Amino acid sequence: MKSLDLFASGESGIIEKISGGGKFLSRATAMGFTPEADISVIRNGRRGPLIVKLRDTEIAIGRGEASKIEVKEAVK
């Protein structure tokens, strides 16, 4: 398990845990970041936001927020 910001473009997994304050948890949940959700990284250029695919929607998420989302890597 590793944080979402460490995933490379093209990697995918399942969200295991989200940590952070109440405002972040509320916002993340509203966007669909919930445990057991499948997630794929579309773009992670190591600078700027990550672009992820979550529940058939592409979402841009900042690196600080992505570091609070723990993801279990998909079995290859």
Please tell me the predicted confidence (pLDDT) of residue 76. 64
- Convert the pLDDT of each residue in 22-75 to its tens digit: 999 999 999 999 999 999 999 998 789 999 999 999 999 999 999 999 999 987
pLDDT for the residue 61: 95
CA angle 28/24/43 to nearest 5° reads 50
pLDDT at 47: 86
CA-CA distance, 10 to 18, in Å (whole number)?
21
pTM of the model: 0.90
The domain limits of the chain are 2-73
Class of domain 2-73: mainly beta
Give the pLDDT confidence score for residue 59 in this predicted structure: 96
